[in-house]
Structure 1
Amino acid sequence: MSKVPVIAIVDDDEAMREALSNLLQVMGYSTATFENAENFLAENPINAFDCLITDVKMPGMGGLELQKILHEMGSSMPVIIITSHTDPTTLQRALEEGAYAYISKPFADEELLQHLRLLLDFEPSRDGNVK
């Protein structure tokens, strides 16, 4: 991938949104943050983002429902689920419905970054330029 990937972050926890956004921006990604799934969907996300990172449990629409709606809309955008809920049934459902990865909080930054590098084939150089 030659352009800088744009990662959408949907999480009701403001501190988590900011931490993820800061981490990804430092690593050379572009980010857009949303406090809920409804705001994300209002952005017409089908071709606007290269990847979605979302939480499972949020007020209103949760991450699994969001993933399902995107799929029904014809989106092929990869979804990474990040959650503190480690229920095996939820994990299985997320993966069966197409999630690229399911990461339990707390997690090491490198775990998320590794998934993104593999998924998006993007690695910024040490000087901040795209390879």
Structure 2
Amino acid sequence: MPHIPLVAIVDDDESIREALCDLLMVAGLACRTFDGAPAFLADRAARGVDCLITDVRMPGMSGLELLERVRADGSNLPVIVLTSVLDQGARARALELGAQAWLTKPVADDALLDQLKAAIGSEHWPVEPGP
């Protein structure tokens, strides 16, 4: 049975989490959602994800702080930052920490899926469902 890539979505906006999860499931990916960085870090099952999508501005811990924590733990988990923040300094910091991409909301579905495919690796990408 082929491995279905699991993507974690960390965003404090429930409607964003739901919309992203719907998109990923249609694309053949599995997803887990978290309402903030602390919830992601506290969930031991989150260690099994293949990619992380995170917002930047969230209460408690920002997406950049989450990315710093992930890297400090020695993980090279692919991370995609999806945010409405237009701060070039924050963008530069995220990319310096090894973020796969910095995408701004609203993002085109194809742009996000292309970045996910690059992050996960096309060899792990699910086969498109047939008619």
| Shared fold (TM-score, shorter chain, > 0.5) | yes
Q: Provide, for residues 50-71 of structure 1, a one-character-per-residue CA deviation record: whole Å limited to 9, x for no partner.
A: 0000000000001000000011
Q: Which runs of 5+ in 2 are unaligned?
A: none
- Cα RMSD over matched residues? 1.4
Query: Secondary structure of 1:98's match?
Result: coil
- Give 1:18's aligned amino acid: E
State the partner residue of 2:63. 63
Q: CA deviation at 1:47?
A: 3.4
Of 102, 105, 129, the residue aligned with 1:126 is 129
Q: Is the counterpart of residue 100 in structure 1 residue 82 in structure 2? A: no
State the partner residue of 2:50. 50
Flag as ranges the 4+ runs of structure 1 deviating above 6 A. none
- Give 1:73's aligned amino acid: D
Choose between structure 1 and 2: higher helix proportion.
2
What is the identity percentage for the equivalent residue pairs of Structure 1 and Structure 2?
46
Give me the TM-score of the superposition, normalised by structure 2: 0.91
Q: Is the counterpart of residue 16 in structure 1 residue 19 in structure 2? A: no
Q: CA deviation at 1:92?
A: 0.6
Q: Provide, for residues 75-129 of structure 1, a one-character-per-residue CA deviation record: whole Å limited to 9, x for no partner.
A: 111100000011111111110111110001111010000011122121422329x
Give me the TM-score of the superposition, normalised by structure 1: 0.91
Q: How many residues align?
A: 127
Q: CA deviation at 1:45?
A: 5.5
CA contact (8 A) 2:8 2:49 kept: yes
Provide the rounded CA distance (Å) in 1 between the counterparts of 2:78 and 2:33. 16
CA contact (8 A) 2:7 2:30 kept: yes
Report matched runs for 1:84-99 at 5 Å. Answer: 84-99=84-99
